[in-house]
Structure 1
Amino acid sequence: MNKQYVIFTDLDGTLLDHYNYSFAPALKTLEKLKQQNIPVIANTSKTFAELVEIRGALQLNTPFIVENGAAVYIPTTFFKHQPIGTKLQSGYWVKEFSKPVSHWLELLENIKTGFEGEFDHFSNMSIEQISQATGLSPHDAQLASQREYCEPVLWLGDEPSKQLFVQASQELGASPLQGGRFLHITGECNKGQALSWLFNEYKKCNGQADCYSIALGDGHNDIHMLEVADIAIRILSPTNPPPKLKRTKGVMTSSQCGPSGWAECIDSLIFS
């Protein structure tokens, strides 16, 4: 254990099971990481409200990245000094990479006339509809609905219309990102940009020279972080092929899906 690792992980389909959102198969590995003081940092499309609850269940007190890299939340006890460019908010230092969700809702309002009936989006959906579309319980759907920086779009039309929709939103300044179930309308931010910023802050604040970042993900919206991390781990999905990467070195692919694959790869890389 002469190397220091920082682990950045997607949640849905990666550390959490794609179907039931369980992380039970990874619990023993998470405990070993905690014993070795190896930070596990969620890097996810989920909201701040969701992360507060999930981090409690996972017993994590580390920073976390929300809404596909839109913002980084750092507990004020994690670093000795407040990182430059952050604001203090509810016990966290927050680094923002995107405009607020109100900006993206206004954008959707401006383009919806050309795509009537072809999409729905979170702020227009009831908690019951979000629950049905995501498989989340009503309670968890309520947490998921509390977007701060991006708006998830549920596409109902065909693929050609979807591409026109993406183009129209890009022309108005959005950077749409396809997640597992939703097209996220947000700014020019991604999980890789947020990972790089936070990892650099970690190395500066901890004086760590021999420090390596590990990224784990299963979907298209994980590609940016998988490309920039020192070690990329692709987690098999029961529904999608592994993310296609440009890099060929420092890449692992699990043989199992979800949290079982997560534990398999981390155990092999760090504890074998």
Structure 2
Amino acid sequence: MPPPDLMVVTDLDGTLLDHHDYSFDAALPLLDRLRADGVPVVFCSSKTVAEITALQERTGLVGSPFVAENGAVVVGHDGRALTGPADGGLERLLAALDDLRGALDLHCETFSTVTDEIVATWTGLDVQAAADARRREASEVLLWRSEDDDRAGEFRAGLTAAGLDLVRGGRFWHVLPAGCDKGAAVRTLVADHERRTGNTPRTIGLGDGPNDTALLDAVDLAVVVRGHGPAPGPLADDRPERVHRTTSPAPQGWTEGLTHFLGNDR
């Protein structure tokens, strides 16, 4: 049996979902057992609300808390928005981003400025899933071009001046309001759990990319899933008793990492 008040917080692409085809079959047996034991499995991703709720339906986790858009949207266990987009926030973000792209003559492209079909080619998603990926509420996805590398510092500084952060995911860069990251989202969910139950959950977090660093720093036990790009880190507490790095990529690595901490009786 799992310890009482366990909470699993997991990134999706490259962590639970295969980097190439987004499959998760190898993780289903453990995912099913966690659900049967009543362990909250919190999806914590750069994906949109539409994408995450669709995946919750496929995995039987409808109604579970989740974190969307790298922490810019946090939804509690009862569907309450714990953190959400400010009125007009996305419009201001897109306007600031467009101004910077013009001022610096950048070649980067964003989800909001292309079609569903183009996003499908970038991501490998089908067109409907690509449309869900474009339904953003509080952040924007950026496809960076190498010819703009000499202006990367100016771009980041300009975003900071506009109250925005730039974080790197597995495939793309993400622009979101300053102060919204996966670590802050985890702390929000833990605080909400404490208010509802009076107990502090034991947290295990899983991630594979740089935008998961804050998540892995915010949990009690961390799993770094072997990825296909830059890894998270450096972590604030990298002791081997707290951090496990998997030998397998997603989705096998997801099961490997959780089993390392929970034991084979899972």
Name the residue aligned to 2:213: 223
1:175 match: secondary structure: strand
Aligned twin of 1:254: 246
Match of 2:99 in 1: 110
The residue aligned with 1:196 is 187
Change (3 A) 1:132 1:45: same
The count of corresponding residues between Structure 1 and Structure 2 is 256
What SS class does the counterpart of residue 52 from structure 1 fall into?
helix
Aligned residue runs from structure 1 range 127-166, under 5 A: 127-156=116-145, 157-166=147-156
Measured in 2, the distance between the counterparts of 1:101 and 1:149 equals 5
User: Residue in 1 aligned with 2:82?
Assistant: 95
Partners of 2:99 and 2:149 in 1: CA distance: 21
Q: 2:11 corresponds to which letter in structure 1?
A: D
Tell me the amino acid that sits aligned with residue 256 of structure 1: S
Aligned-partner Cα distance in 1 for 2:186–2:231 = 23
Q: Could you say which residue in structure 2 is the equivalent of 1:85? A: none
3-state DSSP class of the match of 1:6?
strand
Alignment match, 1:244: 234
Structure 1 Cα separation of the partners of residues 260 and 210 of structure 2: 24
Per the alignment, residue 178 of structure 1 pairs with: 168
Once the two structures are TM-superposed, the CA of residue 193 in structure 1 deviates from its matched residue by: 0.1
CA apart distance, 1:238: 2.8
Structure 2 residue identity aligned to 1:16: L
The residue that corresponds to 1:70 in the other structure is: 72
- What displacement does 1:110 show? 1.8
Gaps of 5+ in 1: 77-91
Task: Determine the C-alpha separation between the residues in 1 that align with 2:77 and 2:25.
Answer: 25
Q: Which residue pairs with 1:81 in the alignment?
A: none
Corresponding position of 2:56:
55
Partner residue of 2:262? 270
Question: CA–CA distance in 2 between the matches of 1:248 and 1:117?
Answer: 37
Runs of 4+ in 1 over 6 A off after TM superposition: none
Secondary structure of the residue aligned to 2:7 is strand
Code of the aligned partner of 2:16? L
Residues 52/97 of structure 1: CA separation in 2 closer, same or farther (3 Å cut): closer
Could you tell me whether the CA contact under 8 Å between 2:205 and 2:215 is conserved in 1?
A: yes
Kindly indicate whether the alpha-carbon contact (under 8 Å) linking 2:244 and 2:260 is maintained by their aligned counterparts in 1. no
Distance in 1 (alpha carbons) for counterparts of 2:101 and 2:170? 22
Output the CA distance in 2 between the equivalents of 1:162 and 1:214. Answer: 34
> What secondary structure is seen at the aligned counterpart in 2 of 1:176?
strand
Deviation at 1:183, TM superposition (A): 1.6
SS at match of 1:146: coil
Per the normalisation by structure 2, the TM-score is 0.91
Comparing 116-125 with 38-47, greater Cα deviation is found at 116-125
> How far does residue 199 in structure 1 lie from its aligned partner after superposition?
1.1
Deviation at 1:95, TM superposition (A): 1.9
Deviation at 1:97, TM superposition (A): 5.3
Pairwise CA RMSD of aligned residues? 1.6
Give the match's secondary structure for 1:194: helix
CA distance in 1, matches of 2:137, 2:155: 22
